[in-house]
Amino acid sequence: MDLVAENLVFRPENEYHLNNVSFTMTRGKLYTILGRTLAGKTTLLKTIAGLIAPDSGSITYSGKEFGSLPVWKRNVAMVYQQFINYPHLTVFDNVAFPLKQRKVSTATIQQKVSQALQQVGLQGFEERKIQALSGGQQQRVALARSLVKEAELLLLDEPLVNLDYKLREQLRDEFRGIFNSGLMDQSILIYSSTDPVETMQLGGDVVVMDEGSVLQQAKAQDVFEHPADTRVALIANDPAMNLIAGEKTGGMIVINQAIRMDVPRHLKSLMDGRYTFGIRAADISIDKEGDLWEVELSEISGSETFIHLRNGEHSIVGLLEMVKDIQIGEKISVQFDTQWLYAFDQKGDLAASPFQKAD
């Protein structure tokens, strides 16, 4: 059973929130919608749920028109950034609420609620009131309430964004376990995120969005290895992939008079000309044989150091897997690991990836 969107447009006040959005999603799979704030992720989820009516375009599910169905007829569950629970009810009653609304038998409610609470690690919390739970536990209650509905479409709108870092990591692992357990094989799971690391860790298929448009839909690994264009390269990496304009001429890549490098094997088949070259922060290192760059900012994050560098009109960010005291204004020698260099053409489309086999 497929969920198919064709040319969805939502343009309130002449501003595109969805701009000809099309995709196909298949039952039993996890899809992550990745994009920056205001990319259109929440609008798309609300359109699927029936909370927003698009100006044009269509949504079908299992071959049947889905867009015209009212919300209450869609078998959809949604978990929001701001988790929504009923504060006057216990954990059990919060999770059981949609089943009671359907007048499901007491025995079935007991069985389904117990199973859902076990899935999200809240067994033993049945009689607690919502106010007695932590933020992470409350989010798990919201997820469990969605699971018991056995919805055909489970929509999760940045469900971890308001939690602290450690709790996000823990719940992300738990979510991944639920997604991969086989218990959701009858559903389509759509998870929105601004975090490329979270997206790659969840796996599945990724729909990259920007300014209301779909830029790429592919498996997570393919998006990482073969970003369709420079916009995807920026969105799907944290920190964003460094993009530097330069020229391939013969066996050299020339960025400016000071920065030149040998063409790596996987780029040798490219025609000579102007390109935008991309390299991830982790593929930049301090090396006495490298080119001189001036430090604009140095940030220590845990056991890593991010260095913001400038050479002429070019700015890059490097990631050192160590704690290193580097002063602003200091000039350091930097080396690019060119075996991981990308090339994008003048339109911004991917011209060559380091994950392609060299000729």
Q: Is residue 359 part of a domain?
A: no
Residues 6+ positions from 173 with CB-CB distance below 8 Å: none
Q: Is residue 30 part of a domain?
A: yes
Q: How far apart are CA 359 and CA 356, in angstroms?
A: 9
Structural domain total, the chain: 2
Residues 6+ positions from 283 with CB-CB distance below 8 Å: 336, 337, 340, 341
Q: 348 in the Ramachandran plot: left (φ > 0), alpha (ψ -120 to 50) or beta?
A: left
Closest CA relative to residue 250, chosen from 226, 230, 267:
267
Question: Is residue 262 domain-shared with residue 217, that is, in the same domain?
Answer: no
Q: Is the pTM of this model over 0.95?
A: no
Q: Is residue 269 part of a domain?
A: yes
Q: Is residue 237 part of a domain?
A: no
SS3 content of the chain, % helix, strand, coil (to 5): 30, 35, 35
Question: Is residue 281 domain-shared with residue 207, that is, in the same domain?
Answer: no
Question: Is residue 279 domain-shared with residue 135, that is, in the same domain?
Answer: no
Parallel/antiparallel/unpaired status of strands 284-301 and 273-279? unpaired
**Residue after which a domain boundary falls, among 206, 232, 258:** 232
CA dist 269 → 163, 194, 272 (Å): 47, 35, 9
Amino acid 358: pLDDT: 46
Amino acid 359: pLDDT: 46
Q: Is residue 358 part of a domain?
A: no
The per-residue pLDDT string of the chain (359 residues; one tens digit each, 9 = 90 and over) reads: 799 999 999 999 889 999 999 999 999 889 999 999 999 999 999 999 999 999 999 999 888 888 778 877 788 888 887 777 888 899 999 999 989 988 999 999 999 999 889 878 889 999 999 888 888 788 889 888 888 888 889 999 998 877 777 777 777 777 777 777 665 677 899 999 999 999 998 888 999 999 999 999 999 999 999 999 999 999 999 999 999 999 999 899 999 988 999 999 999 999 999 999 999 999 999 887 888 999 999 999 888 999 999 998 999 999 998 888 899 999 999 999 999 999 999 999 999 999 975 44
Could you count the other beta carbons within 10 Å of the beta carbon of residue 29?
A: 15
Question: Is residue 36 domain-shared with residue 98, that is, in the same domain?
Answer: yes
Q: Are 268 and 357 in contact (CB under 8 A)?
A: no
Q: How far apart are CA 260 and CA 314, in angstroms?
A: 13
Q: Is residue 290 part of a domain?
A: yes
Question: Is residue 185 domain-shared with residue 79, that is, in the same domain?
Answer: yes
Question: Is residue 55 domain-shared with residue 191, that is, in the same domain?
Answer: yes
Question: Is residue 218 domain-shared with residue 271, that is, in the same domain?
Answer: no
Q: Which two tokens stand for residue 80?
A: 């929001």
Q: Which domain holds residue 248?
A: 242-352
Amino acid 183: pLDDT: 58
**Residue after which a domain boundary falls, among 184, 210, 232:** 232
CATH number for the domain spanning 201: value is 3.40.50.300
Question: Is residue 216 domain-shared with residue 305, that is, in the same domain?
Answer: no
Question: Is residue 222 domain-shared with residue 287, that is, in the same domain?
Answer: no
Question: Is residue 174 domain-shared with residue 294, that is, in the same domain?
Answer: no
Q: In degrees, to the nearest 5, what angle opens at C-alpha 148 toward C-alphas 194 and 78?
A: 30
Question: Is residue 125 domain-shared with residue 198, that is, in the same domain?
Answer: yes
Question: Is residue 268 domain-shared with residue 309, that is, in the same domain?
Answer: yes
Q: Are 34 and 59 in contact (CB under 8 A)?
A: no
Q: Which two tokens stand for residue 247?
A: 């020229």
Amino acid 243: pLDDT: 97
CA dist 165 → 110, 136, 168 (Å): 33, 11, 5
**Residue after which a domain boundary falls, among 232, 266, 291:** 232
CATH number for the domain spanning 291: value is 2.40.50.140
